[in-house]
Each structure stands twice: as C-alpha cells, then as structure tokens.
Amino acid sequence: MKKTIISLLLATLPIFISGCKTASNTESTEVVKNTIELGSAEIKKSGHAQPLFQNNQLVGYEFKKGFAVPAELGNFFGFSYQVNQLINSTTDNPNSTGYVATKVPVTVTVVHPEIMINGKPETTSSWEDTLYFGRDNFAMWKFENANELVNGKWTISVAYQQKEIATKNFFVRVPPKMPKKVTQVCQVEIDKFPRALQQANTACCTNNDAQACYNFAWRGLERIRDKKGAALYYAKSCELGDISGCRQAAKMATTPEKRDAFYHKGCDLKDMDSCIEVNRLN
C-alpha cells in the first residue's frame, strides 16, 4: 500500500557550516563526528486537505478546517510540520570542520481502525520517508480503497530513530448517504434522515400535521439543499393551515400565479403580511 508522504523540496539550498583556519604541516583537518539530534517538531497545519499542483507537480496542500475528516475515496488528511536540527559535535581536533545535515530518514506510522490490507486485518500502517530541515514536510494519508473508509480515531506520527517527533489525532467519519431529491410529497427515502425528521415526516404524511410538514421542509430538506422538495412540503403545510408554510411556499413559488395563490391562502388564515402581498386589506 503506497501512501502519499511528501517532503517538499522548496527553493532552499543545502546549508554547510565549516571552520576555516590555517594549519601547520603537522596538523590535519578532520571531519566532525556529528550526533544528529532533532528539536521539537512544530505542526504547522492539519486536517482534511486538497493537494496543490504547479506545472503538474505536487507543491503542497491546502488544509480545510472542520471537526471530522470525510472518509471518501481520493481525500487526503494529515499535517505539515517543521523540525530544527540540534548539533552536538565531538572531536579532539581543534582544527576540525563540520556540517549541518539537510535531511534524515524518518518513519511515518498511522494507527487506524481495523482495515483489510493485502487480505489481512491491520490496525497499523507505516513506511519510510525523508525529513528535510528548514522547510515544510507533509505526512498525509490518502483514501485509496473502499475498505479504508472506516469511522473512528486515526493517528499519524513521525519518528526518527524510533523516537516520536510529531503526532496528530484525527476523527474520521464516513459521510452519510444523501437521500434522493424529493419530487412528490411523502415519497421520501426516509431511512436516510435522522430519527426526529423521520417522525416529522410520518406526522405530516399520516396525521396531516401541518407543523410537522413545515419542520420536515425546514430542518430536513432545506439543510440538504433540496429546494424543490422543501417547496412541496411547505405547500402541504400551507394547505393544512400553517401560516408560515404559506409564506415560505409563496417565496419559493415558480410562477406569479402560484405565489399569489399561497398568499391568498395565508390571508384566508388571517395573516396580515399575506394579505398585504395580494392587496387584500379591505
């Protein structure tokens, strides 16, 4: 399983630190024996992300704010981070020269709910990556297979020489399936709505509850951007005697004639605003 873990090569040249000192013929210059130590990693941004391309090359990610990461094929999530290098040079030669490393190998590990990988149930995935100093690094997971679309806590961490240097928890959520657009009142994929809205639809369609029809339109259909379906339920609410339903149905009417009909109904229900809209003040 190949995951996208990118360490961007920004326009930063390798940095070398060397000491220049005139030495006698009996002295030698020795390369410093460096023990590479890493400072604390700074996580810059994290979450659901959109890859950014320039000249057909991946150059970074645009992170989006949100409580949960949507588990959908093709989606990325993870974090960007930077790490500073600490140098501990050890040598007995005062004329020695040293260098600052530009990169080190790291291991990226993802702890996730159980998913099938190569036919086996796994809760951990890991791979090798390269950490570059002085620039952004990215630890990203891409949903590539349907079996990876699992709700729960996911943790991405980066380790250098078995020592964790950066970690971030994420809540991954499979988006609920959206119901089909409503074309007829009371013909709804009701199982795809929350229980409270299922009850409202039942009260509307079985008990002719005008307020329930209005609530299903407002709290259910409008929130999933089904404007036509919402208009149908507002119209039913109006027919059953709900003034607010008449107003909303009039606002969403597709013709002047339908608009006026809903306002006339509202006016019949003693709604002054509806009467004003159709000039029935006398």
CATH class given for the domain over 190-277:
mainly alpha
pLDDT for res 34:
52
- Rounded-to-integer distance, Cα 239 and Cα 201, Å: 16
Q: Report the candidate in 241, 233, 237 with the shortest Cα–Cα distance to residue 268.
A: 241
Distance CA 109, CA 100 (A): 26
Does residue 114 contact residue 80 with C-beta atoms inside 8 Å? no
Give the phi and the psi of residue 18 in degrees, each rounded to 5.
-135, 150
How many residues are there in the chain?
282
The whole-angstrom separation of Cα 139 and Cα 81 is 8
Q: Which helix (H) or strand (E) holds 276?
A: helix 272-277
Do domains 33-173 and 190-277 share one topology? The answer is no
244 with 274: CB under 8 angstroms?
Answer: no
Per-domain boundaries in the chain: 33-173, 190-277
User: How many Cα atoms are found within 13 Å in the side-chain-facing hemisphere of 240?
Assistant: 19
Report the pLDDT value the prediction gives residue 1, as an integer from 0 to 100: 44
Q: Output the tens digit of pLDDT for each of the chain's 282 residues.
A: 445 434 443 333 333 222 333 333 333 334 344 557 887 789 999 999 999 999 999 989 999 988 899 999 999 999 999 998 876 555 555 544 445 788 899 999 999 999 998 889 999 999 999 999 989 999 999 999 999 999 999 999 999 999 999 999 999 999 888 899 999 999 999 999 999 999 999 999 999 999 999 999 999 999 999 999 999 999 999 999 999 999 999 999 999 999 999 999 999 999 999 999 999 886
Query: Which is nearest to 49 in space by CA: 9, 115, 1, 5?
Result: 5
Question: Any alpha helices (H) in 94-241, and if so which ranges?
Answer: 195-207, 210-215, 227-239
- Which class is 33-173 in CATH? mainly beta
